[in-house]
Amino acid sequence: MSLWAVAAAAALFVLLGLLGSRFASALASPADGALYRGVIYTMAGAVALHLVLTLLDFAGVRWSLPVLAVAAVLIAGVAGIATSFDAPGSAPAQDPHSPSPSLPSSPPPAGREGSRKPNKGGIVLGCSPSSPGGRGGGWEKRAGVMRVLGGGAPRHVKFAPRGSGGEGLGRGELAWGDALALFALAVFTAFALSGWIAMPDYVYHWGFKGYRFYLAGGVDYTFLAHGWNWAIHPDYPNLVPEMFAVTALLAGSFQMPAMMLGTAVLFALFVAACREGLRQGGAPAFVRQAGTALVALSSAAFGIGYIMAGAADWNLALALAAALPPLLRPPDRTGDYQIAVIAAFAAASKIEGVPLAAFLVAIQVFRHAWSEWTERRLSLGAAPGAVVAAGLLPAAVVLPWLGRAGHHHLFQAFNSGAFGVARAGEVFAGVGEALQLPAWHGFLPVMFLPPLLLVPRRTRAFAAAATLELLFYFYVYFTTPVANYRYFVLSNFPRLGFQLVPACMVAALMAWGAAKSERPAGSFPPAAPTPSKEPA
């Protein structure tokens, strides 16, 4: 195992986080903890990378580190210019845990000037005054200023919007649940780096495509279009192999352990997102810790038992978990941008991420419209703004993908067919069998909770997205023409469930375990649409 390659994989995610942090003023809500901000920034960086690589492919420019470095600097500059204009209607959300105003009106305490002082290109990742109660201050104090990519942004966009002290690691020091989560992450990472739990699909197509793209210096559409490549899903979105290819570019060679480390990072990111979901959902301290531990331990068990390292399903699990905080808060412009990043990340990652992106955007827009309507403003003015804010980025990902895949005739005939009710017996037999899969240890049925989670108001928006995604899975089962439906379901249902289970666990814990009194009055998210109609 090449340590250099593994370090390069870690460095890629750090760089993506730094790149994404250039959009901090648009992407960070005062309600968000530092870990969650890191999650969103990393996802934003990944989406930016994907768009750059797509642009390079269109231009016929070979991927290389110098080209990517120039692109990163350009993006950082554009971000500085774009975020220097405050978007109308972008009032930040209130930290649900704090009665004080979202933005501090007093100067920073002495000794923290470094986090407040304007600096060339610096951004703040969770540098905030310590929490009012003093808990968590140690971590927050240790958070520092991160300088990024040369700077040049206007002075007033140097800092993320800051709340009243709820940032840091998400209020509170590392506790027993966090420790268990870190243990689960460490165990999973150790096995992942060995390659022993590398998912077969990593070899069959995700990793293989990444390797090819690395060698070709771009997405090799001519290669993908060859008839013999039907088995590698040539029509799938390419963020996952692109990340592998760029990791290899950084490392100087394509090394399997480096790719496996990427999965471990995604694991860490989605556990952080789940932790934030519990915090913003108002879960009591014990539920927050238990929920974080539960998500991490059960995911690590499944990831090892079902050999999931290198799988693309981690991206979708991350997307759903990261969507929890913005869907828990009342809709606001920061939430729109967060949903945009999450939806774009999902759509770029996997084919079922495309409908998930549509569901997330549609629900966010509906929440805006509903919010306007119920507040009797008799205006739906915010909804079109939300369409643009939440929908533009996913569209920028989906449309080029559709165009390239269509142009090169990559869509496979076996991906779709007529709706066949007659196969219901076989499909549900497969589902029943999958639910008993030993590697899930009884947790897979959690994926069926979203319809129930439509009932509590606080989880309704998330549950709507998850329910629609669940329905999409079954739509695929009932329309894809294959010879053996039971085998087909068994071969992918357990890992499709993995996309839903962690986030659904968190939502269920919020609905079940959170004390309603912990949530400030008037901050309940408005009702989300019931899944009566599939969004466009």
Partner 1 sequence: MLKRFLLGLLVLWSGVSLLGEARRALTSWDARAEWEAQPDAWRFGSPPVDRLEDCLDDARRLVPPGAKIVFAAPGEPPDRALFATRWAAYLMPARNVFRPGEGKARYVLSWRVPLAGPDLTGVRPVRQLPGCFLYEAKSEAKP
Q: Closer to partner 1 at the Cβ: 308 or 468? A: 308
Q: Closer to partner 1 at the Cβ: 25 or 229? A: 229
Spell out the residues 6+ positions from residue 58 whose beta carbon is closer than 8 angstroms to its own: 400
Nearest-5° Cα angle at 480, 475 to 482: 140
Q: Closer to partner 1 at the Cβ: 293 or 344? A: 293
Q: Residue 411 Cβ, how far from partner 1 at the closest point, in Å?
A: 19
Q: Residue 195 Cβ, how far from partner 1 at the closest point, in Å?
A: 3
Fill in the amino acid letter for 29: S
CB 268 within 8 A of CB 153: no
Q: Residue 307 Cβ, how far from partner 1 at the closest point, in Å?
A: 7
Spell out the residues 6+ positions from residue 3 whose beta carbon is closer than 8 angstroms to its own: none
Q: Closer to partner 1 at the Cβ: 254 or 401? A: 254
Residues forming the site for partner 1 (CB under 8 A): 177, 180, 184, 187, 191, 194-198, 200, 203-205, 207-208, 211-212, 215, 223, 226-229, 231-232, 254, 256, 286-287, 290-291, 293-294, 297-298, 300-302, 304-305, 307, 439, 441-443, 509, 512-513
Please count the residues of the chain: 536
Q: Closer to partner 1 at the Cβ: 282 or 331? A: 282
Q: Closer to partner 1 at the Cβ: 220 or 433? A: 220
Q: Residue 477 Cβ, how far from partner 1 at the closest point, in Å?
A: 20
**HEC letters along 237-303:** CCHHHHHHHHHHHHHCCCCHHHHHHHHHHHHHHHHHHHHHHHHHCCCCHHHHHHHHHHHHHHHHHHH
Q: Closer to partner 1 at the Cβ: 375 or 518? A: 518
CB 352 within 8 A of CB 496: yes
**DSSP assignment, residue 87?**
P
Query: Distance between alpha carbon 331 and the CA centroid of its chain, in Å?
Result: 18
Can you spell out the DSSP letters for 50-71?
A: HHHHHHHHHHTPPP-HHHHHHH
CA dihedral 334, 338, 340, 343 (to 10 degrees): -160
Q: Residue 295 Cβ, how far from partner 1 at the closest point, in Å?
A: 9
Tally of CB atoms within 10 A around 258: 26
Q: Residue 492 Cβ, how far from partner 1 at the closest point, in Å?
A: 14
Spell out the residues 6+ positions from residue 135 whose beta carbon is closer than 8 angstroms to its own: 171, 172, 173
Q: Residue 278 Cβ, how far from partner 1 at the closest point, in Å?
A: 12
Q: Residue 178 Cβ, how far from partner 1 at the closest point, in Å?
A: 13
Q: Closer to partner 1 at the Cβ: 188 or 473? A: 188
